[in-house]
């Protein structure tokens, strides 16, 4: 990636809080125009990564760059719009006043009315920001992030507290914004959201990037298919050595094989006569996530996908 194509760059970035290594040697690059999901469990390091990216926190080691300079410079230049997880409540001002205030601090903001419409809060324009519901507050935070018409939009768990309808409207607005060539980074716990709305998914676990690719690539990296069958009294010896098999999981009398080559695995099982209750299914993204984060199967390294 050349300098001019790069929006975000982390090189060997680490950040600890006391004994807790929140971010543990992260290298990553995000190109301009990409929509990237930062996916991970609670405590994986997503918010810390985002605060380092925004220059709100300093790394103990390594370098963070936005648009090939320090984050503070990009933020000062109005290139970044953010929606941090914890928004400070500003008492007594209205939604329109807040969005206008934020827009006024950027060199080339979007029209305030347009922002309110895009964030689905035009009907709340006159309401006080400290008297909104959780979902309404979340949409105001989105409007705040959009207000300056930033080149890079950073959203920490943007759909938390949103109901189904608001969630759909949010993603539509986010995609409309991204279509204009802007770069978007959002964090989420939800695999489906990451898969549906990002060009690329970075899976973070214990402060490290353990996988980086599209949803499809993640599924493949975690082992393409699952083959299940009934043991019917036979042993499990040798199953791990069958062609394609990556892991063997036994639950009661049923075995689940994760395999890179389900055809070869099924043929080998047929030769052993182990076909009672045979089922073949593609690995789900949930499943891939559990493998990649080491919750299921042994996996500690970054998957190159």
Ligand X SMILES: Nc1ncnc2c1ncn2[C@@H]1O[C@H](COP(=O)(O)OP(=O)(O)OP(=O)(O)O)[C@@H](O)[C@H]1O
**Positions in the binding site for ligand X (CB under 6 A):** 17, 20, 22, 40, 42-48, 189
Measure CA 274 to chain center.
Answer: 39
* Closest C-alpha to 65, from 84, 47, 79: 79
175/246 Cα distance (integer angstroms): 37
How near is the Cβ of 39 to ligand X at its closest, in Å? 9
Q: Which residues contact 75 (CB under 8 A, 6 or more apart)?
A: 54, 55, 66
185/264 Cα distance (integer angstroms): 39
How near is the Cβ of 14 to ligand X at its closest, in Å? 12
Q: 8 or 118: whose CB is closer to ligand X?
A: 8
Q: 41 or 254: whose CB is closer to ligand X?
A: 41
Burial of 97 (0-12, 13-18, 19+ CB in 10 A): middle
Q: Which residues contact 157 (CB under 8 A, 6 or more apart)?
A: 46, 85, 186, 187, 188, 189
Q: 22 or 194: whose CB is closer to ligand X?
A: 22
How near is the Cβ of 203 to ligand X at its closest, in Å? 11
How near is the Cβ of 154 to ligand X at its closest, in Å? 13
Q: 67 or 186: whose CB is closer to ligand X?
A: 186
How near is the Cβ of 41 to ligand X at its closest, in Å? 7
Q: 67 or 289: whose CB is closer to ligand X?
A: 289
């Amino acid at each position: 990636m050349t300098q001019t194509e790069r929006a975000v760059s982390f090189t060997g970035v680490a950040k600890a809080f006391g004994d807790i290594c929140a971010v543990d040697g992260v290298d990553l690059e995000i190109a301009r125009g990409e929509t990237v999901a930062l996916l991970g469990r609670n405590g994986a390091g997503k918010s810390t990564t985002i605060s380092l990216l925004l220059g709100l926190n300093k790394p103990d080691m390594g370098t963070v760059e936005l648009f090939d300079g320090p984050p503070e410079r990009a933020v000062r230049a109005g290139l970044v719009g953010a929606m941090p997880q914890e928004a400070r409540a500003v008492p007594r001002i209205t939604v329109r006043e807040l969005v206008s205030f934020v827009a006024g601090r950027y060199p080339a903001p979007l029209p305030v009315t347009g922002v309110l419409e895009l964030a689905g809060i035009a009907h709340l324009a006159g309401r006080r920001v400290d008297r909104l519901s959780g979902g309404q507050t979340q949409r105001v935070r989105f409007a705040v992030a959009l207000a300056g018409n930033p080149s890079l939009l950073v959203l920490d768990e943007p759909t938390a507290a949103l109901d189904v309808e608001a969630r759909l409207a949010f993603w539509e607005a986010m995609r409309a914004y991204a279509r204009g060539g802007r770069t978007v980074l959002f964090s989420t716990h939800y695999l489906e959201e990451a898969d549906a709305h990002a060009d690329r998914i970075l899976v973070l676990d214990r402060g490290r990037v353990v996988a980086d690719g599209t949803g499809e690539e993640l599924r493949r990296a975690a082992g393409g298919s699952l083959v299940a069958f009934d043991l019917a009294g036979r042993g499990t010896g040798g199953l791990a050595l069958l062609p394609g098999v990556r892991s063997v999981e036994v639950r009661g009398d049923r075995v689940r094989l994760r395999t890179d080559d389900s055809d070869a695995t099924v043929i080998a099982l047929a030769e052993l006569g182990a076909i009672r209750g045979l089922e073949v299914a593609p690995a789900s993204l949930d499943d891939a996530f559990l493998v990649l984060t080491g919750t299921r199967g042994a996996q500690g390294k970054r998957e190159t996908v």
